[in-house]
Amino acid sequence: MQLIDGKTLAAKIRSQVKEEVERLNDESEIVPGLAVILVGDDPASHAYVKMKAKACKEVGFYSIVHEMPDTISQEEIVATIEMMNANPRIDGILVQLPLPPHIDTERILEVIDPAKDVDGFHPYNVGRLVTKLPGFVPCTPLGVMKMFEEYGIQLQGKDVCVVGASNIVGKPMAALLLNADATVTVTHIYTRDLAAHTSTADIIIVGVGVPGLIKAEMVKEGAVVIDIGINRLEDGRLVGDVDFDAVAPKCSYITPVPGGVGPMTIAMLLSNTLQAAKARAAR
């Protein structure tokens, strides 16, 4: 069993991004800019945004956070995004999810200029992903693909079970795997017999927010297990969706939680924002 070390890989990617930012600045005097909209007081969202701001500073990005109360109107959020769409210093716009219930999340995401949609959630970029055209890819699934690449894990012809069908992780993950010629099964809350699908898979990718969902008997010997879930238990421990201690001995590769997929998400956000800045420099 080999651990897939997302923390080390993410540090390597951040270092590469920093070098490219310095080169871009030398050649065109452009500094990549990332703007974040943060609505409400959700502690997890505030923690994520803080980590993103720290990572931006580390690689030399210009970054700004628009903090808004959870009573804000949809129109005010739209107006802020339109202002950032028009701002030439901003290359990437990120709306921290989830948004309050009175806000139409799909409408908000559609307002973002697809060329600044570094989260890859705009329908334009989703369509390009599904049709295997270049565009922005959601950061977490993209980070998982980078892990496969770094560790030489082959996808072509492999049976992959994706557990979870969200627009943020499950669906784009499935599209990336199909584009890599894997055979993909997507399971979700209405799947009748989850173990029937996971137990035959060469690779299991899970991200649903249920601690210990994937048990040892649901995983075949030698499988690759990617745990995207992150859950805080009552005793304060962070755990994934996989029963790690029981499952790990059966795996050829497995990601830990924390230190697995999580750091890769922010690394890919930086990479996507750099890509947008390079496109600005080329215009």
Hey, which residues are catalytic here?
52, 96, 119
Q: Can you list the alpha helix ranges (DSSP code H) found in the chain?
A: 6-28, 43-59, 74-86, 105-111, 123-130, 139-150, 170-179, 194-198, 244-247, 261-282
Strands 33-39 and 62-68: parallel
For the chain, how are helix, strand and coil distributed in percent, rounded to 5?
45, 15, 35
Number of residues assigned to the chain: 283
Which uninterrupted H or E stretch holds 63?
strand 62-68
Query: Who contacts 241 (Cβ-Cβ below 8 Å, separation ≥6)?
Result: 163, 206, 207, 208, 209, 210, 211, 212, 213, 214, 227, 228, 229, 231
Strands 223-227 and 251-254: parallel
What is the token pair recorded at 65? 């956070």
